[in-house]
Structure 1
């Protein structure tokens, strides 16, 4: 019997999400939630003239097939497991890892962001 790497990887992703999933995510206007892992890491950047800047980029990790429709500027509603607090975010960038998981960088949705960026690329 041949080893099914893809099936084993999918099982591992399910175990990771069941163990570490800490937020229910509603994509756009959907009423169906997906499970994800929310992380709010603090980053520091050193300035060449001295000093540093601290900033936080909120991130989600989710199964790629669950977030296949998510793209830049998509609205997400997150309901946190422990507190049941609901917060709104807009997707800043999407980074599929090629192995079944996707990392999504978020920015807080204060209601003033435009769906279409004003900068022309």
Structure 2
């Protein structure tokens, strides 16, 4: 919440400023649609992360109220963990979209191919 979303918003803002600059210069053409689509995709991924993270926190709060340790663990497994996948997919997509110099964390490919 404090690394990925602000980074994605900052990168999205760069794209929006670029698009506005192109429009001011009268240089908007069909290729601008790629930038618009990217801006929209970033918005969708940000919304997914926020929605799923909020739902995960609520699921966790509910699970934490369960007295029985085994039942609490099952609740974590069945309800809290279910939000991990959508969050991870959205973050992975943003990692591929956001410029390397703007991304605050080590990228997956850097972990795999670091010498």
TM-score past 0.5 threshold: no
Structure having the higher strand fraction is 1
TM-score tier (shorter): under 0.3
Taking structure 1 as the reference length, what is the TM-score of the superposition? 0.25
Structure having the higher helix fraction is 2
| Rg (Cα) greater in structure | 2
Asked which structure has the greater RCO (Cα within 8 Å, sep 6+), the reply is: 2
